[in-house]
Structure 1
């Protein structure tokens, strides 16, 4: 058995030269938004209306 990856990608939208993705931390459940364009990119936690990080409980999945 291999080591389980800490992050899982739950959403991806892309076009020529750029990409938007949502990743979930399997340990904490915190959702992160990642945007890349050309040679740059950025990662930030997704926040709810109350300013707190969005948390998702993941079901056990096979990768």
Structure 2
């Protein structure tokens, strides 16, 4: 079975981690943060407020 999500990039920042995750079925990019007791995941937006989608 193919994994639904894949890590596009990962960066350590001020004791936490920021990852860009791609939904392999829809192409939607998400930003995921973790560390320092906090975590979250939300769609990644461009400068106009549109969701970033990788074209297949």
- How far, CA to CA, are the matches of 1:51 and 1:40 in structure 2? 24
Question: What residue ranges of structure 1 are gaps of 5+ in the alignment?
Answer: 59-63
Aligned residue number for residue 61 of structure 1: none
Residue in structure 2 matching 1:27, options 21, 25, 28:
25
Structure 2 unaligned blocks of 5 or more: none
Q: Count matched residues.
A: 56
CA RMSD of aligned residues (A): 1.7
Aligned counterpart in structure 2 of residue 51 of structure 1, from 17, 37, 49: 49
TM-score, length basis structure 1: 0.75
- Match of 2:40? 42
Larger Rg: 1
The CA deviation string for residues 8-44 of structure 1, in whole angstroms up to 9 with x for no partner, is 0010012574101000001111100011122320111
Q: Give runs of ≥4 in structure 1 deviating > 4 Å.
A: none
